[in-house]
Structure 1
Amino acid sequence: MAHMGSSIALLLLMIFVSTSTSTAATFTCNSTAKCRSLVGYPSPNTTSISTIQNLFNIKNLRTLLAANDLPASTGKNYTIQENQVLKIPIPCVCSNNTGVSDKMPVYTIKKDDGLYHIATDVFGRLVTSSEIQVANNIPNADLIIEGQNLTIPLPCSCDSVNNQKVVHYAHVVAEGSTLEAIAQQFGTNTDTLVQLNGNGTLKAGTAIDVPLQACNSSVKTDSLDSPLLVANGTSVYTANNCVKCKCDAANNYTLQCEPANLQGFNCSSMLCDGSESLLLGNTTISGCNQMTCAYAGYASNQTIFTTLNTLSTCPAPNSNNASKLGLNSNFVISIILSLLYLYLSR
């Protein structure tokens, strides 16, 4: 009977949550594949980057550094200021048309913790207390135990937006913010934000789904990291930490990859396919053609694939002839005008 009572209580809780969490960060997600997503974590206090790494169960510090485009040499004691926002990479999976972080992070309850405190103060309102309660099958939110582990269901999505693959980013709305300001900050538009988040009403302290444009890449479809989606302003390590790829709008949203040069990793040759001397990430000029060795993926045998991309800077065909024609035409006109002037002056 006690078990039946707990089941009924949990069912009532789920019904309550489904009808009363209009402020919950629920992201639509219908994709059948897992993906890498991002959440924007506003640090509740001044702390170290390694503390945040541990909070979100990020295995390697360099993963967090890359997501925030910080140098790999940045130490674990690097200071994060109060209210400073860090991009946190999370694995995302779809379930029941909703995106949620894949069984992470896991938080251990401390003395005097409550679900509201954990959701609001520890995880920066990226999740609600009700979502934590449902995700962990807790019938009574007041009966949680110190030392108990909780899975924190962070919001995310793997869906394409307007037929384009993007990196979904959970952005916690600041006081006084507007859809227009958020759209401008992240390079999207208000219509898309409304499309993803249901309406044009913002509430401070809640997370909304912001699609970040990803850089175009040469990664093959059969590569183990395909599709490699890297959002503007972020970097990732791939190919078993042998390659670092960065996305920057200044490079026309073309993925820039180079050897990661991390100690302790055995990496295969990155000599460019189709070149005798060009290495991954290098660029050379031949005539009026700019050739860049681009990353094309990797295989299970540690092989790293490259491809030679060529950008032509040659002038358009017949452009020189056109300019010469223009010069000759002007010369002929000036001669005709001079002759006409002499004739009229007689």
Structure 2
Amino acid sequence: MFCFLRKLHKMESTWPHSLQFLLFFSLLFSMAFSKSVIEPCNSSTSCNSLLSYLLPSDMKLAEISTKFNINPIELVGSNNLDQQTSQTLILSAKTTIKIPIQCPCINGIRQSVSTLYTVQPIDTIESICTGFGNLVSPDQIKAANDLDNSSSSLESGQSLKIPLPCTCFNNTDNGVTALYLSYVVREGDSLDSIAGAYGTTVTDLVGVNKLGSPSIDPGDILAIPISACSSANMNLYNDSLLVPNGGYALTAGNCIFCSCGPRNLSLHCVPSALSASCPNLQCKGNNLFIGDVEEELMGTGCNVTTCLYRGYVNHKVLSSLSNTYRAQCTSNHSNPLSPSLPPSSIGIPSVHVLPSLAPAAAAPFAGHGFGSGPTAVQIASSATVSTRTSNSAPFILVFLLALMLVFIPFDPNVYS
């Protein structure tokens, strides 16, 4: 900023003072304010949501799950990491990961308030915001904890509620099941790059976030729809799953591993092999385990038998056989497409999270496809755009105005 003022001073002979003031206040406004979408609500229901978190330093997964007060298994599944090696995995600074959170309705808007933070001796409100990836502002922390706006002092050991952004929008986007990810815009980002990285479109982002124009600034928080798989059409007993595309979930006492995508948005559930005591993983009256498919060549077509996961009750995994008919078999003879292996031999894929400075460096999600449901603009029609103000904005304003008086001489002839 100091260099900017010196350059502005050198150009005063060729630029009118009015233009200098306009440029200055435009820059100041972009520094002090950021936008985020807020979803009004009037129900007590909660939904699954995601945060995009840029690690401020090297961190273990256990540290991240503790910081956000979330289940480590859900964190690992949302990022498609290997459960068996994740306990020792250290993620590098500047790595971007997805944080799964619950998004309840609080005081008429969607926000997450389940995260608590214990103040350390060297903490300031600004450093705490940075530690949470700037997903929260100093003013929001002060409001959530009834802190005095005129003071930023904190006491060591003090417990703070950290309000975090989240949206539900009925967990649909253009008729497709979706989870919404809250993403903090960074330097160099554009709607094109963000849309490309997360498998959506600029039009969709503009509609969901109620943007008046396709322009964004660093610090803005966008709601990004991520296509997902739902168990709604699986008729599960005592179980409900919503898994982001490219992720997985462990359910039924960690006995069942259900993955989503990337080629389609249907959940595929198989035994997980993480729990030693998982009975009833084999369908009755058949040699197929959950997730196995068997084809039988008939005279006029192909009979397909699938062992399906059906739910979990009283520590018992439920399953059933499903029979469908196809005009043609995958092969020319009867065979199981998924071998009937004992559960202990079925593993979980290992996918490493790589450091990324911008969303374009992350692996893209599958596209949304087409649907007959409401459009993104219709879904977000009740959403509002909130302006987040930096708590330090008034001080920045006073300081920079003083600098202007020093470096930019006022010429009354210009305004006479």
Tell me the residue number matched to 1:83.
Answer: 94
Deviation at 1:186, TM superposition (A): 1.6
1:118 paired with 2:132, answer no
1:211 equivalent in structure 2: 225
Q: Which residue of 2 aligns with 1:242?
A: 255
Deviation string for 1:168-219 (max 9, x for gaps)?
1112223222222222222222222112212032122332111111125466
Aligned-partner Cα distance in 2 for 1:234–1:255: 10
- CA positional deviation for 1:26: 4.1
Amino acid at match of 2:272: A
Secondary structure of the residue that 1:214 maps to in structure 2?
Answer: strand
Match of 1:152, SS?
strand
- The letter for the 2-side match of 1:172 is V
CA 1:315–1:238 in 2, change beyond 3 Å: closer, same or farther? closer
Higher strand share: 2
- Structure with greater Cα Rg: 1
Give the root-mean-square deviation of aligned CA atoms: 2.6
- Partner of 2:319, secondary structure, is strand
For residue 177 of structure 1, what is the aligned residue in structure 2?
A: 189
* Counterpart position of 1:329: none
Asked if 1:55 is matched to 2:64, the reply is: no
The one-letter code matched in structure 2 to 1:192 is D
One-letter amino acid matched to 2:169: D
Task: Kindly report which structure 2 residues correspond to 1:140-155, keeping only aligned pairs within 5 A, or say none.
Answer: 140=149, 141-155=151-165
Higher deviation after alignment, 83-92 or 185-194:
185-194
Alignment of 1:270-289 (within 5 A): 270-272=281-283, 276-287=286-297, 288-289=302-303
The correspondence of residues 194-273 of structure 1 with structure 2, limited to 5 A, is 194-199=206-211, 200-217=214-231, 220=234, 223-226=237-240, 228-250=241-263, 252-263=264-275, 266-272=277-283
Q: Distance in 1 between matches of 2:197 and 2:306?
A: 30
Does the 8 A contact of 2:269 with 2:309 survive in 1?
Answer: yes
1:29–1:95 Cα contact (<8 Å) kept: no
The structure showing larger relative contact order (alpha-carbon pairs under 8 Å, at least 6 residues apart) is 2
DSSP-derived class of the 1:157 partner: coil
> Alignment partner of 2:196: what SS?
helix
The amino acid across from 1:205 in the alignment is: G
4+ residue runs of structure 1 moved beyond 6 angstroms? none
Over 3 Å counting, the alpha-carbon distance change for 1:180 and 1:307 in structure 2 is: farther
Amino acid at match of 1:253: L
What percent of counterpart residues are identical? 32
Provide the secondary structure at the position in 2 that maps to 1:249: coil
Is residue 26–residue 98 contact of structure 1 (8 Å, CA) maintained in 2? no
CA distance in 2, matches of 1:225, 1:36: 14
- 1:129-140 to structure 2, matched below 5 A, reads 129-140=138-149
**Mapped pair 1:67 → 2:75:** no
Q: 1:28 aligns with which of 39, 51, 56?
A: 39
> How far 1:149 moved relative to its partner?
0.8
Check whether the contact 1:218–1:296 (CA below 8 A) recurs between aligned residues.
no
> Who is 1:305 aligned against?
318
Name the CA distance, whole Å, in 1 between partners of 2:58 and 2:163.
24
| Distance in 1 of aligned mates of 2:94 and 2:204 | 27
The number of aligned residues is 288
Query: What does the per-residue CA deviation read over 1:89-147, in whole Å, with 9 as the maximum and x for residues that have no partner?
Result: 1122122442212x42211111131212211x200111222112112222234132111
**Contact 2:182/2:222 (8 A) holds in 1:** yes
Instruction: Say if 1:159 and 1:165, in contact at 8 Å, map to a contact too.
Output: no
Paired residue secondary structure (2:205): helix
- Gaps of at least 5 residues in structure 1 are 1-20, 317-346
Q: Residues of 2 paired with 1:219 and 1:239: CA distance? A: 18
**CA-to-aligned-CA distance 1:212-266 (integer Å, 9 cap, x gap):** 111254665573332x21110111112232222111222x2211111222236x4
Pick closer, same or farther for the CA change 1:67–1:185 going to 2, 3 Å. same
CA spacing shift, 1:219–1:242, aligned 2, 3 Å: farther
User: Alpha carbons of 1:225 and 1:208: their partners in 2 closer, same or farther (altered >3 Å)?
Assistant: farther
Q: Which amino acid letter does the alignment assign opposite residue 62 of structure 1?
A: I
The answer to whether the 8 A contact 1:125-1:207 is kept is no
SS in 2 for 1:170: strand
**Where does residue 309 of structure 2 map in the other structure?**
295
User: For residues 312 and 216 of structure 1, what CA distance do their matches in structure 2 show?
Assistant: 24
Displacement after TM superposition at 1:68 (Å): 0.9
Q: How far did residue 64 of structure 1 move? A: 1.8
TM-score, length basis structure 2 = 0.63
- CA distance, structure 1, for counterparts of residue 238 and residue 147 of structure 2: 38
1:237 to 1:52, Cα distance in 2 relative to 1, 3 A: same
Q: What secondary structure does 2:34 align onto? A: coil
Matched residue type, 1:190 = V
Match of 2:136 in 1: 127
2:169 aligned residue (123, 145, 159) = 159
- Paired with 1:286 and 1:93, the residues of 2 have a C-alpha distance of 48
